[in-house]
């Protein structure tokens, strides 16, 4: 089933209503950790918004959800300015859109030969930034709106898979590691079982449980929750006297693994876009057997030099794309959500 959406807004009023509607859903999802509609429905409306803005660029308002990343940082936490913006990812919903992504990359790079891609499951959790100074964890922050996040240092320190000190010598003076904090399916089931036993409110899904667990003012609560962190990139870097980082994404992740981070065991390199499609099908087939929730596959141009040449658009890198899976049991999720709100 494809989620491709060719719906259009019939009028400017309809477009403006759509903006308000999506703003409300974004606030519920990113700020309140309490979504009221399934992600697939949000994605459908978001594509309708993008289609309207493409057809009528003069309608686009500066506070449109298409012009920004995530949601505002809660002011009960100290706010953190990201040294480099934490962006979102562009989406693809079918093979044709994935091929378009590859074609655009080839055109921009002036290449007729294949591009090598790093392939990784798209973990359905919360993006986090971890700042290490001289190898010691100094600060942990949420993505927030991409420029300003929330300081959750005490909470991230309770997560076992986050190194408090980088292993080995030769570490950069300042290193920002980015990754996803998520709740494995088994831990989520146990947490909800405990909530049921106590007659307390259950979490809608593992992402929601991870978000709620991370944004706690009392880090003892975070410590009691089964959270894991998987590293997927390096952000800000002051290399100092340490050796330069490798020149491609996958080897950078292996370096992070040497420093003590968990990286995704399913990560693979594809020599071309056909390899990416084969990888997508392979992971879609084993999705239910994975111990964590994923909502798609992320493909990243592997070469750091090519990434740099491709650069960014306003809310996402040009060199990466999230190929989303079709919605699973959309109605069941909706019903669960309805019980929650």
According to CB under 6 A, which one of 232, 279, 299, 323 is a site residue for ligand NAD? 232
Residue 37 binds ligand NAD, judged by CB under 6 A: yes
Tokens 């999802």 label which residue?
29
Contacts of ligand NAD in 11-30 (CB under 6 A): 25-26, 28-29
Residues in contact with ligand NAD, counted by CB under 6 A, come to a total of 22
Does the annotation count 281 as an active-site position? no
At 289, list the tokens. Answer: 């057997």
Q: Which of 197, 198, 195 is nearest to 213 (CA)?
A: 195
| 207 contributes a contact to ligand NAD by CB under 6 A | no
DSSP assignment string, 138-150: EEEEE-TTSSEEE
Choosing from 172, 234, 322, 325, the residue that interacts with ligand NAD (CB under 6 A) is 322
Decide: is 70 part of the binding site for ligand NAD (CB under 6 A): yes
Q: Which of 19, 52, 89, 119 forms a contact with ligand NAD (CB under 6 A)? A: 89
Please, where are the H alpha helices in the chain?
12-26, 39-55, 95-109, 153-156, 185-197, 206-214, 219-223, 249-258, 273-286, 304-310, 330-340
Q: Which is nearer to ligand NAD, 87 or 166 (CB)?
A: 87
Place of tokens 């990888």: 279
Part of the chain binding ligand NAD (CB under 6 A), chosen from 117-125, 190-198, 240-248, 274-282 = 117-125
Of positions 16, 34, 43, 236, contacts ligand NAD by CB under 6 A: 43
Length of the chain: 341
Nearer to ligand NAD, 123 or 135 (CB): 123
Q: Looking only at residues 127 through 166 of this chain, which bind ligand NAD when binding is defined by CB under 6 A?
A: 127, 143
* The binder of ligand NAD chosen from 15, 18, 33, 39 (CB under 6 A): 39
Question: What is the C-alpha separation between 176 and 140, in angstroms, rounded?
Answer: 9
Question: In the complex with ligand NAD, which residue's Cβ is closer, 102 or 129?
Answer: 129
Note whether 88 binds ligand NAD by CB under 6 A.
yes
CA distances from 225 to 32, 57, 66 (A): 19, 45, 33
Pick the stretch among 1-9, 33-41, 162-170, 237-245 that binds ligand NAD (CB under 6 A).
Answer: 33-41
Radius of gyration in angstroms for the set of CA atoms belonging to the chain, rounded to a whole number: 20
List, in order, residues 6 or more apart from 136 with CB less than 8 Å away: 164, 165, 166
Q: How far is the CB of 87 from ligand NAD (least distance, A)?
A: 7
Q: Which residue is catalytic, options 48, 122, 300, 324?
A: 122
Q: CA of 310: how far to CAs of 94, 147, 149, in Å?
A: 22, 21, 26
* Beta strand pairing call for 79-81 and 148-150: antiparallel
Q: Which residues are catalytic?
A: 122
- Which residues are at the interface with ligand NAD (CB under 6 A)? 25-26, 28-29, 35, 37, 39, 42-43, 69-70, 88-89, 120, 122-123, 127, 143, 180, 232, 298, 322
């Amino acid at each position: 089933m494809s989620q491709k959406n060719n719906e259009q807004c019939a009028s400017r009023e309809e477009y403006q209503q759509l903006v308000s509607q999506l703003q409300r859903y974004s606030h519920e999802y990113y700020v309140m950790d309490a979504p009221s509609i399934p992600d697939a429905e949000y994605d459908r409306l978001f594509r309708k918004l993008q289609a309207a803005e493409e057809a009528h660029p003069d309608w686009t308002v500066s506070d449109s959800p298409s012009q920004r990343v995530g949601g505002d940082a809660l002011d009960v936490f100290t706010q953190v300015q990201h040294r480099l913006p934490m962006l979102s990812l562009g989406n693809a919903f079918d093979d044709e859109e994935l091929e378009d992504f590859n074609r655009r990359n080839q055109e921009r790079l002036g290449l007729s030969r294949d591009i090598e891609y790093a392939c990784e499951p798209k973990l359905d959790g919360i993006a986090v930034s971890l700042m290490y100074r001289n190898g010691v964890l100094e600060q942990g922050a949420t993505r927030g709106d991409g420029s300003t996040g929330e300081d959750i240092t005490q909470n991230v320190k309770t997560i076992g898979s986050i190194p408090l000190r980088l292993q080995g010598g030769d570490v950069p003076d300042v290193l920002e590691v980015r990754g996803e904090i998520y709740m494995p399916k088994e831990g989520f089931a146990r947490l909800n079982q405990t909530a049921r036993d106590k007659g307390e409110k259950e979490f809608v899904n593992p992402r929601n449980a991870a978000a709620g667990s991370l944004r706690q003012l009392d880090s003892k609560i975070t410590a009691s929750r089964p959270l894991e962190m998987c590293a997927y990139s390096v952000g800000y870097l002051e290399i100092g006297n340490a050796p330069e980082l490798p020149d491609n994404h996958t080897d950078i992740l292996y370096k992070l693994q040497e420093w003590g981070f968990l990286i995704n065991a399913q990560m693979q390199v594809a020599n071309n876009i056909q390899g990416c499609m084969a990888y997508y099908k392979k992971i879609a087939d084993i999705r239910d057997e994975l111990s964590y929730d994923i909502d798609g596959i992320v493909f990243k141009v592997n070469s750091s030099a090519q990434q740099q040449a491709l650069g960014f658009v306003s809310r996402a890198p040009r060199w990466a794309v999230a190929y989303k899976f079709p919605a699973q049991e959309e109605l069941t999720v909706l019903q669960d959500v309805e019980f929650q709100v």
